[in-house]
Amino acid sequence: MNKFWSSAVTRTEPYIPGEQMETKDLLKLNTNENPYPPSPKVMEAIQAELNRKLRRYPSPTVDTLREKIATYYQLNADQVFVGNGSDEVLAFSFMAFFEPGKTIRFPNITYSFYPVYAKLFDISYEEVRLNRDFSIAVDKFFHSDGGVIFPNPNAPTSLYLNLTHIIDIIENNPNSVVIIDEAYIDFAKESAVSLVNKYENLLVVQTMSKSRSLAGLRVGYAMGHPMLIEALNRVKNSFNSYTIDRLAIAGAEAAIMDVDYFNEITQNVIRTREWVARDLKKIGFTLLPSDTNFLFIRHYKIEAYEIYALLKEQNILTRHFNKPLIDNYLRITIGTNDDMTVLISKLKSIISVKK
């Protein structure tokens, strides 16, 4: 501990992000990035912005992007907040809606950023055990004192929770905010965005990092009642007036408008996921039914960490979580068909040499 550190720093455990190696010929299947490039219209928009206005500050209210996101989801711009990746949007949400002295709830197996934020902002939390089949224990989220947050689909389990259950959780928490982190929703079924006009305690957070291939641009957004959006704006303004830069705004606007390209690459990822799941089962893997761009798998013969290490030796990066309950699972991002053909053949040889 350093004598200059505040209690916020000492409370906080560093988040361990997925490995970000830039080695040549690396097959990177560890952080759920999209294997396809962003829409060509994104590149054009960023280039046009580069040629034009970089010497000027971006709009402090990011109106044009918020309007385009609102149009896409059939909302009004005052129901949309944008930030520097959904991680930033989530951090602002913790500050805006969760209180020190009250206890929030999230699942015990979930996105590992939540406990990090809770500790940083001094918010106590209760980790609600998943059911034995890894599904979310819906009624254990009723009547929380300080609020609820979880991803849908959940990460790293890849499981989707039906909207009827989400509605139950929202309706049974009338006095606190329920945040649904929909980082992977475009690879799943229905989004909770359709409920935003009905429930003033619902905040839906999404990102351009996964289904729109823009992890490097850092654009995330929240959608909710204008009163919730106003709270996020107040919190943000005390930090920085300009959440995202001109290039990110231009690129994100082009991305949200290019619906055809988005549909095409999302469907490609889903199709690849389905055949990969079938092939993995054929070679003895057990996996949870995925509604995301990744698979959560284990093999009865080999420890997950060993598979992770053997793949890494062969320049294939996957994600292993050294945590109770899931330490025998491996999370594998869906790549292109070619990427996954390479992966399956390496897995076959790893398994075949194991007695």
Residues that bind ligand PMP (CB under 6 A): 85-87, 111, 151, 155, 181, 183, 207, 209, 215, 220
User: Helices 246-257 and 40-52 meet at what angle, rounded to 10?
Assistant: 150
Output the smallest distance, CB 97 to ligand PMP, in A: 16
Nearer CB in complex with ligand PMP: 248/302: 248
Q: Whose structure tokens read 């944008």?
A: 82
**What's the min distance (Å) between Cβ of 186 and ligand PMP?**
13
Task: Give least dist CB 7 to ligand PMP, A.
Answer: 26
Nearest CB to ligand PMP, comparing residues 255 and 350: 255
- Shortest reach from residue 155's CB to ligand PMP, in Å: 4
Quote the tokens at residue 65. 């992007």
Which lies closer to ligand PMP via its Cβ, residue 265 or residue 347?
265
User: Least distance in Å: CB of 240 to ligand PMP?
Assistant: 16
Name which of 33 and 258 has its Cβ closer to ligand PMP.
33
Strands 220-224 and 80-83: antiparallel
The least distance separating ligand PMP from the CB of residue 10, rounded to whole angstroms, comes to 25
CA–CA separation, 176 and 309 (whole Å): 43
Choice between 39 and 209, CB closer to ligand PMP: 209
Residue 191 or 209 with smaller CB distance to ligand PMP = 209
Minimum Å distance from CB 6 to ligand PMP? 25
Q: What CA–CA distance (Å, rounded) separates 176 from 103?
A: 11
Residue 104 CA neighbour count, 13 Å, CB half = 26
Nearer to ligand PMP among residue 86 and residue 318 (C-beta): 86
Q: Check whether the bond before 153 is cis (ω within 30° of 0).
A: yes
What is the phi-psi region of residue 116: left when phi exceeds 0, alpha when psi lies from -120 to 50, beta otherwise? alpha
**83 or 299: whose CB is closer to ligand PMP?**
83
Closest CB to ligand PMP among residues 181, 339? 181
Least distance in angstroms from the C-beta of 210 to ligand PMP: 7
Closest approach of ligand PMP to the CB of residue 292, in Å: 9
